Amino acid sequence: MSRKDFDLYFQQISKQYHDLNVALQDMSEEVNNGMLEPERLEGIKATILPVKNSYETLNYIRYLLDKPTRKSKHNRYNGQNKKVLNTCKDKTKELVLQENSRIINSLRN
């Protein structure tokens, strides 16, 4: 996959994630107005979860792809991308590797 393909795919996932968030906000208003049951909203949130996970993972990968190679620029880049890092805090390389290791160990035992 080329960088151009990745960027196009990320744009598509970002648009879908944004559209789902808008729909979720509309449904939250409907729950507040009594037009929709809260249980249905929780089911919809569970449906949206895979798209959210994909978005967060791809967003972190894009962050890593764009990260400068010079150490002197890392602090500035991290400061510029604070929002991305906060959004992807559950999908960092270290946390994903720890989770994968935990799953592998649980399968072995």
| Residue-range definition of the domain harbouring residue 22 | 3-108
Question: What was the pLDDT predicted at 5?
Answer: 92
What is the value of pTM for the model shown?
A: 0.73
Question: What was the pLDDT predicted at 96?
Answer: 79
CA 27 to each of CA 32, 40, 51, 75: distance values in angstroms, whole numbers, following the listed order: 9, 9, 17, 40
d(CA 86, CA 107): 31
> Taking the chain (109 residues) in consecutive chunks of 10 residues, what is each chunk's mean pLDDT?
89 91 88 84 85 86 86 84 78 80 84
The 10 Å Cβ neighbour count of residue 81 is 17
Question: What was the pLDDT predicted at 37?
Answer: 85
Counting the structural domains of the chain, the total is 1
Question: What was the pLDDT predicted at 66?
Answer: 84
d(CA 13, CA 78): 23
